[in-house]
Amino acid sequence: MSTKFLNQAYGISTMDSRDLYTAWSDSYDQEVHENGYVTPLRVAEALDRHVLDKNTTVLDYGCGTGLSGQALLNVGFQAVDGVDVTAAMVDLAREKGIYRNLDVFSPEDGPNIAEGTYSVIAAIGVIGAGAAPLSVFDTIMDLLPTGGYFAFSFNDHTLEDPAYEHKVLEYTQMKRAQLVFCEYGAHLPGKDMKSNVYVLVKK
C-alpha cells in the first residue's frame, strides 16, 4: 500500500511544500482520486460559464500532476499551459501530454511569465493550507491584464484562516477586482472536506 499524504499535507509550512509534493507525486493522483477530488471540475465549470472563447489559453498555476489541466480541457478549453514549483509533479503532468507548455520555477524567484501573457489563470487546490502561501494570490493578480479572469479554490482548512477570504474582500472592496462566482461545495468527499470556488475579474 502506498504512503498516504493527504492528512500530512495540511500541517506543512510553506518551507517544506516542495519536499511534500516531491514525496507525494507518485501516489498523488491515486490518493486524491480515492477521496473523490472534485474541485478541479468545479473550478473548470465555473470558468467555462464566464470565459466563452475556449481558444483562450489558460495558465494552470500550480498544475501539479495535471488533474486541474485535464479538468480545464474536459470543459472545452483548447490550450492549457502549466507552471509549478515541484519538478516531480510536473514530470508526471508532462507524461500525460495535457499541456501546451510546462515550466518549473522556484518560489523565491517567481514564475518566468511576463505580465499580461495570460488573460485566464487558474490556481486549483494551490493557495492555502497544504500548498502555496497567500502571497501567490497577489502574484497571480499582478500577472493578469485588466479584464482578466482568476479562478481558484480555498479548501476548508484554508478557510479556517480568515486572512484568505480577507484577501478576496480586499480586492473587491478596493474595486481592484469583481467577484463573478463564489460557491461552496465538495472538495474531497472521502475526507468530508469542502472548498470555496471563486472567479474574479481584474479591474
- For the stretch 21-24, contacts whose Cβ atoms lie closer than 8 Å and that sit 24 or more positions apart, written own/partner, are 21/64, 21/86, 21/88, 21/89, 21/131, 22/86, 22/87, 22/88, 22/89
Least separation in angstroms between CB 194 and ligand SAM = 15
Query: Which of 113, 126, 177, 188 contacts ligand SAM by CB under 6 A?
Result: 126
Scanning 124-132, 163-171, 179-187, 190-198 for contacts with ligand SAM by CB under 6 A, the matching segment is 124-132
Is the CB of 15 or the CB of 174 nearer to ligand SAM?
15
Least separation in angstroms between CB 150 and ligand SAM = 14
Question: If binding is defined by CB under 6 A, does position 73 make contact with ligand SAM?
Answer: no
- Cβ burial, residue 110 (10 Å; 0-12/13-18/19+): middle
* Order of strands, sheet of 58-61, starting from the edge strand that comes earlier in the sequence: 102-104, 80-84, 58-61, 120-123, 149-155, 193-202, 177-188
Question: If binding is defined by CB under 6 A, does position 68 make contact with ligand SAM?
Answer: yes
Query: Which of 31, 41, 42, 62 contacts ligand SAM by CB under 6 A?
Result: 62
Query: Which of 42, 81, 121, 125 contacts ligand SAM by CB under 6 A?
Result: 125
C-alpha–C-alpha distance, residues 23 and 3, integer Å: 9
Which of 30, 14, 31, 17 lies closest to 191, judged by CA?
31
Question: If binding is defined by CB under 6 A, does position 196 make contact with ligand SAM?
Answer: no
Question: If binding is defined by CB under 6 A, does position 59 make contact with ligand SAM?
Answer: no
Site string for ligand SAM, 90-109 (x = CB under 6 A): -----------------x--
Query: Which of 51, 85, 113, 168 contacts ligand SAM by CB under 6 A?
Result: 85
Number of separate helices (H) and strands (E) present in the chain? 8, 7
- How many CA within 13 A on the CB side of residue 190? 12
Contacting residues toward ligand SAM, per CB under 6 A: 17, 21, 40, 62-64, 67-68, 84-86, 89, 107, 124-126, 131-132, 136
